[in-house]
Amino acid sequence: MSPIKTTPCLLILLVLSAAIQSEARWGKTRVEIHNTIGPGVDLTVHCKSKDDDIGEQLLHFNDSFGFNFRPRFFFGGTLFFCSFKWGSEFKYFDVYDEDRDSDICHYCVWNIVPSGPCLLKEDSADDYHCFEWNKSENQKFGSLPANPN
């Protein structure tokens, strides 16, 4: 084969190899959400991405739920966002944003508190990084149900 024909073939093999290694290296990611709002306070959570609607979950205090997915590391852009409702409060947050989270968590544990969600650092049992709530619902991929209040 001539060098002109070999180069594109090698480039295609290199790109495919990188994609396969990326998937094998990272595999699935898990997001867990824990209701730590307060004793006696139920939390309704509804999570979705561009492609998947995880559905609505009712979490009593100290309950949790989680879901698994495979981020699109090679093509990028994986985003899961959720609405959180308790009492008269209705908030939004991106529980997995590939740009923010791909290097810091593959098992993303969120404690939900009134001031905002707190991400457990993977190398610690009790060290959290807390975030502010989104200013509004994520408009990139559609919408969650409107605030019923």
Of 140, 141, 26, the residue nearest 74 (C-alpha): 26
* Domain presence at residue 141: no
Phi, psi of 147 (to 5 degrees): -60, 120
Q: Above pLDDT 90, what percent of the chain?
A: 54
* Domain presence at residue 36: yes
Of 22, 58, 28, the residue nearest 41 (C-alpha): 58
| Spatial contact of 91 and 133, defined as CB atoms under 8 Å apart | yes
Which CATH number goes with the domain that contains 125? Answer: 2.60.40
Mean pLDDT of 11-27: 51
CA distance 146 to 149: 9
* Domain presence at residue 148: no
pLDDT at 8: 59
pLDDT at 139: 44
Helix, coil or strand: residue 13 = helix
Domain containing residue 67: 28-130
For residue 21, pLDDT over 50 is answered with: no
Number of domains in the chain: 1
* Domain presence at residue 22: no
* Domain presence at residue 48: yes
* Domain presence at residue 8: no
pLDDT at 64: 98
pLDDT tens-place string over residues 79-133: 999 999 999 999 999 999 998 998 889 999 999 999 999 999 877 767 789 999 9
* Domain presence at residue 135: no
pLDDT tens-place string over residues 63-86: 999 999 998 766 668 999 999 999
* Domain presence at residue 55: yes
**Does an H or E element contain 10, and which?**
helix 3-26
| Spatial contact of 90 and 83, defined as CB atoms under 8 Å apart | yes
